[in-house]
């Protein structure tokens, strides 16, 4: 595997030196996308949030700022990402408002019916058996809870489809495919928003 291909494959599960470089770039590289997606979140403050595939922890930090009375559990299956997210959110962790832990979307380290808001920024591309993972998200949500997916790719843009061919296990989904998988997993009120000028999408579903 060439150096470039090895590097971009770190988007799936950052590991080693290249993984640390990738995670360092994620916080800044995904910030505009994440901020765009967050504007569609509920205004009412959720008491407990789970940020799935938290990467370097920037978006967990943004959620803590947006909802100053909330507690955020940030989850990632990459130890490199977990370490970076802990460092990024150390003050909020010390204050008891944030927990960063290793875990996967298929087996979230969170109690059933305990979460008001679940978020997934630039991560569902790599979730195996996506309907099963969505069902796991539904498990941890309270009745009426919200699940938000925010992706840079709408499943049709050429750039992301090129990366799909060289990044192991990557799958770009259209809003329609995500909505269908969410409904299969038992979600209702599924709505999608497409950026007017970019292939960015936000999909929001409720339990």
Q: At 90, which CATH number?
A: 3.40.50.150
What integer pLDDT is reported at residue 94 of this predicted model? 98
Looking up tokens 């944030």, which residue turns up? 98
Whole-number percent of the chain with pLDDT over 70: 87
Give the model confidence (pLDDT) of 73-114 as tens digits.
Answer: 999 999 999 999 999 999 999 999 999 999 999 999 999 999
For 157-168, the pLDDT digits (tens) are 988 888 888 778
Q: pLDDT by residue (tens digit) across 27-60?
A: 776 799 999 999 999 888 899 999 999 999 999 9
Mean model confidence pLDDT for the chain: 90
Would you call 184 helix, strand, or coil by DSSP? helix
pLDDT of 19: 46
pLDDT given for residue 149 in this prediction: 98
- The tally of domains found in the chain comes to 1
Return the pLDDT at 163: 80
Sign of CA dihedral 153, 26, 124, 32: negative
Containing structural domain, residue 32 = 3-206
Among 168, 177, 172, CA closest to 155? 172
Rounded Cα distance between 199 and 164, Å, is: 15
Report pLDDT for 144.
95
Q: How many CB atoms lie within 10 A of CB 173?
A: 21
Residue with tokens 């909505």: 179
pLDDT score, position 183 = 97
C-alpha torsion 170→136→204→30, nearest 10: -40
pLDDT at 175: 97
> Average pLDDT for residues 21-31, to the nearest whole number?
70
Stretch 124-151: mean pLDDT, rounded? 97
């Amino acid at each position: 595997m060439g150096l470039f291909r090895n590097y971009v494959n770190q988007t799936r599960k950052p590991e080693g030196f290249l993984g640390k470089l990738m995670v360092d770039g994620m916080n800044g590289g995904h910030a505009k996308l994440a901020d765009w997606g967050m504007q569609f979140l509920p205004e009412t403050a959720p008491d407990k949030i789970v940020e799935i595939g938290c990467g370097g922890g920037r978006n967990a930090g943004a959620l803590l700022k947006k909802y100053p009375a909330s507690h955020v559990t940030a989850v990632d299956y990459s130890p490199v990402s977990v370490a970076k997210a802990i460092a990024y959110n150390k003050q909020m962790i010390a204050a008891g408002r944030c927990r960063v832990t290793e875990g996967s979307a298929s087996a979230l380290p969170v109690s059933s019916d305990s979460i008001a808001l679940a978020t997934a920024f630039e991560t569902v591309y790599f979730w195996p058996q996506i309907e099963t993972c969505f069902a796991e998200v539904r498990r941890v949500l309270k009745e009426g809870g919200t699940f938000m997916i925010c992706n840079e790719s709408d499943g049709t843009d050429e750039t992301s489809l090129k990366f799909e061919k060289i990044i192991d296990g990557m799958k770009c989904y259209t809003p329609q495919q995500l909505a269908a998988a969410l409904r299969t997993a038992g979600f209702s009120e599924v709505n999608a928003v497409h950026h007017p000028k970019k292939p960015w999408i936000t999909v929001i579903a409720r339990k």
